[in-house]
Structure 1
Amino acid sequence: MDDLTTLARHHLDQAKADPHGRSAHLFLHDGPLRQSVIAMVSGCELNEHNAPPAASLQVLHGHVRLTGGGDRMDLIAGQVQELPHERHGLRALEDSVVLLTAVTATHGCPTPYEEDTAAA
């Protein structure tokens, strides 16, 4: 079992020592499900990149700005947001740690709801 508080502290310390100002760690990988801790020092940016089929971002520490499609949204510790299904980026407005939860594939895997309705 991983402790998010410990991971957040550790990776924020690593981000502060990193020349690029960030540190990331994939700590859960179960089929198409991925969870990663991403730490970024104030001013650090993740340039726009493609979105997975489904994902959310939870701020564990700090203040970040999520950008994409001409929109921007500021998030603070304790807030969680679905990621846009388009190219998006992230900027740390202060030293920050986020929890990224992503589903990398959705095709061919029926959900429990789909299995229940198919049997009815």
Structure 2
Amino acid sequence: MENLETLIRDQLDDARASAHGRSAHLFLHDGPLRQTVIALLAGTSLDEHNAPPAASLHVLRGRVRLTWAGGGQVLIAGQVTAIPHTRHGLAALDDSVVLLTAVTAVREPAPGVPAGAAARG
């Protein structure tokens, strides 16, 4: 079990000590599920990169800009959004910490089973 407040503090400290002004810690890895706390100091960014099959971004501290071809949005602490299914980037407008939740693989339904049927029970 992890304490998010401790992770936030530790990643901000690590970002401040880093020459690149950022830090990340993968704290949950369960099959295709990944949760990572990422700290970015104001003015730093994550360059454009590919999206996993499914992901969300929850801003824990600060203010960030999520960008993608033809769009973007500013998110503030407390907001959660789905990551676009396209190449995207992230820039810190203030010292910020985000929680990235990603699913790295999607299991195909069994033949003859409608998509989502297993999740409904």
* Residues in 2 aligned to 1:38 and 1:104: alpha-carbon distance in whole angstroms: 17
> How many pairs were matched up?
118
* Residues in 1 aligned to 2:119 and 2:45: alpha-carbon distance in whole angstroms: 43
How far residue 34 of structure 1 moved from its aligned partner, in angstroms, is 0.3
| Contact 2:58/2:99 (8 A) holds in 1 | yes
Answer yes or no: is 1:93 the counterpart of 2:93: yes
How far residue 63 of structure 1 moved from its aligned partner, in angstroms, is 0.2
Q: In structure 1, give the amino acid aligned to 2:65.
A: R
**Which of residues 112, 117, 120 is equivalent to 1:114?**
117
Give the secondary-structure state (helix, strand or coil) at the position aligned to 2:7.
helix
Give the corresponding residue for 1:35: 35
Are residues 61 and 109 of structure 1, via their aligned partners in 2, closer, same or farther at CA, if it must alter by over 3 Å?
Answer: farther
Give the alignment's TM-score, normalised by structure 2: 0.91
Give the corresponding residue for 2:17: 17
Using the TM superposition, name which of 36-45 and 103-112 deviates more. Answer: 103-112
Are residues 44 and 116 of structure 1, via their aligned partners in 2, closer, same or farther at CA, if it must alter by over 3 Å?
Answer: closer
* Residues in 1 aligned to 2:71 and 2:79: alpha-carbon distance in whole angstroms: 18
Q: In structure 2, give the amino acid aligned to 1:90.
A: L
| Contact 2:61/2:76 (8 A) holds in 1 | yes
Give the corresponding residue for 2:44: 44
Give the corresponding residue for 1:83: 83
* Residues in 2 aligned to 1:116 and 1:56: alpha-carbon distance in whole angstroms: 19
Q: Per-residue displacement from partner, 1:32-58 (whole Å, max 9, x unpaired)?
A: 000000000000010000000000000
Give the secondary-structure state (helix, strand or coil) at the position aligned to 1:59.
strand
Give the secondary-structure state (helix, strand or coil) at the position aligned to 1:6.
helix
Q: Per-residue displacement from partner, 1:5-48 (whole Å, max 9, x unpaired)?
A: 11011100110110000000000000000000000000001000
Give the CA RMSD over aligned residues: 2.1
| Seq. identity, % | 62
Give ranges in structure 2 of 5+ residues lacking alignment: none
Give the secondary-structure state (helix, strand or coil) at the position aligned to 1:28.
strand
